[in-house]
Amino acid sequence: MTDNIYARALKTWGRDAQLGMVQEECAELIKVINKHWRGKASDAEVIEECVDVELMINQMRELFRSNSDLWEKIKLDKLNKLFEMLSKDVAKA
């Protein structure tokens, strides 16, 4: 069901509009995280914006579906880099 929703959103509003929405949702997340640091936004507000970004990222996965192998390769590379960074920090402790 969700894959169909992401495809429908892209078909309804179009690539450019949804790319713009990714920017907007990321900006809203940045804003609420800054407010959260100052004690002016709740955990729930941060979570809500994270979910909005997650939904947009899933639309981007659908949009770039023809590059799914590249998406997965880059994701794996990034996870490996994170693992290496964490391993170095553990070794220092």
Q: Which of 8, 90, 93 is nearest to 55 (CA)?
A: 8
Domain annotation covers residue 24: yes
Range of the domain at 11: 2-66
Q: What is the pLDDT of residues 28-87, one digit of tens each?
A: 999 999 999 999 999 999 999 999 999 999 999 999 999 999 999 999 999 999 999 999
Between the CA of residue 36 and those of 40, 41, 49, 52, 86, what are the distances in Å?
A: 5, 4, 12, 17, 26
Read off the pTM: 0.88
Question: What are the backbone dihedrals phi and psi of residue 41, each rounded to the nearest 5 degrees, phi first?
Answer: -145, 140
What integer pLDDT is reported at residue 77 of this predicted model?
Answer: 98
Bin 39: left if φ > 0, else alpha if -120 < ψ < 50, else beta.
Answer: left
Q: Is residue 82 part of a domain?
A: no
Angstrom distance (rounded) from CA 10 to CA 60 = 9
Number of domains in the chain: 1
